[in-house]
Amino acid sequence: MQRSNPSRLAKVLRRDKYLYLMFALPFLFYFIFHYIPIYWLLITFKDFSIRKGVLGSPWVGTKYIEQFLFDPYFWQVFKNTIVINLFNLLWSFPAPVILALLLNELRTGPLKRSIQTISYLPHFLSTVVVVGMLTSFLSSDGIVNQLLQQFGVGPFAFLTEAKYFRTVYIASGVWQAAGWGSIIYLSALSSVDAELYEAARIDGANRWDQMLHITLPGIAPTITILLILETGKIMDVSFQKILLLMNGSNRVVSDVIATYVYRIGITDANFSYATGVGLFQSIIALIFVTACNAISRRVSETSLW
């Protein structure tokens, strides 16, 4: 490598010329839509205006960074992001594991296959459709409130009151993702040695013992890795869903960094400030993913990179 002489390099390039040619379009894609935006992060430190461009806009140093770091509202949306994610992890993570364990106890056959197939279905519905359904079900004259009123309670303003926001967001997320998420656990379950169950049965272990001592240990590595990876995504939220669910009265809890960036940047055209907030989020996210990846490598010898 360190003493690659030019003629050898030329030879290698000639040999791989078609591969490089082929790579031209993907290269342009990654360059234009991934690397140029990274370069454009510079505008965080400039007073960016579209007219002057990235290079022409004057430097302002850390003016915008300081601006949002000293803005209490920024810390509010920062906190919202973390809180939504922590609660979400608490519910969304175990749901597919439990579903997979229960599905695994079913005898293989058409019933099991149908239940599985049906459970994946919500995964393929669009965010807009899911929020549309939530509106139909949970609005003040929706079916849920109609039913509750027959029992003499309600109506509840599920979609507008701030205290219901996280529940609605997380519950609809579990509804949409649990089935799809169970696939990976089911595939891990299918590789658990069947002879172990045989041996356990001979030793008189009941179903519960088998689940506790064979099935769970069998998928424990998968659970560990996925838990660590999910924790690494602490800054990720389904902000596209939040954007549709957000309104004036639930904003105190529903406004997250991504929706804030969208509002400041796109709606108010305050590009430099919004880019700074976005950059801050990316850096925190990167630190989290890297840390979780390092933990994963140590714990389970499996990692993303």
Partner 1 sequence: MKKNKSLGSRLFDSINVIFLLFVSIVAVYPLYYMLITSVSHGMAVMQGLVTFFPVNPSLDTFKILLRNNDIFIAFKNSFVYTLLGTFINLLFSCLCAYPLSRRTFSGRGFLTGMIVVTMFFSGGMIPLYLVVQSLGMMDTVWAVVLPVAINTYNMIIIRTSFQAIPESLVESAQIDGANDFVILFRIIIPVSRAVLATMVLFYAVSHWNSYFKEMLYLNTKSKYPLQIILRNMLVSGLFSEEATMAGGASSFSVTDGTLRSAVIVFTTLPIIMVYPFVQKYFVKGVMIGSLKG
In the list 7, 19, 202, 248, the residue contacting partner 1 (rule: CB under 8 A) is: 19
With tokens 């995504």, the residue in question is 233
In the list 76, 127, 160, 300, the residue contacting partner 1 (rule: CB under 8 A) is: 127
Decide if residue 296 touches partner 1 (CB under 8 A).
no
Which is closer to partner 1, CB of 87 or CB of 137? 137
Distance in Å, CB of 274 to partner 1, minimum: 5
One character per residue 241-270, x = contact with partner 1 (rule: CB under 8 A): --xx-------------x--xx--xx----
Residues 6+ apart with CB under 8 A from 224: 296, 299, 300
Q: How many Cβ atoms from other residues are within 10 Å of residue 228's Cβ? A: 22
Which is closer to partner 1, CB of 53 or CB of 217? 53
Within residues 135-194, the interface with partner 1 by CB under 8 A covers 135-137, 141, 143, 146-147, 175, 179-180, 183-184, 187
In the list 86, 125, 212, 220, the residue contacting partner 1 (rule: CB under 8 A) is: 125
DSSP of 218-234, one letter per residue?
Answer: HHHHHHHHHHHHHHHTT
Residues counted in the chain:
305
Distance in Å, CB of 163 to partner 1, minimum: 22
- Cα separation, 262 vs 40, in Å, equals 17
The helix, strand and coil proportions of the chain, stated in percent and rounded to the nearest 5, come to 75, 0, 25
HSE (side-chain half, CA atoms, 13 Å) at 291: 10
Within residues 52-91, the interface with partner 1 by CB under 8 A covers 53
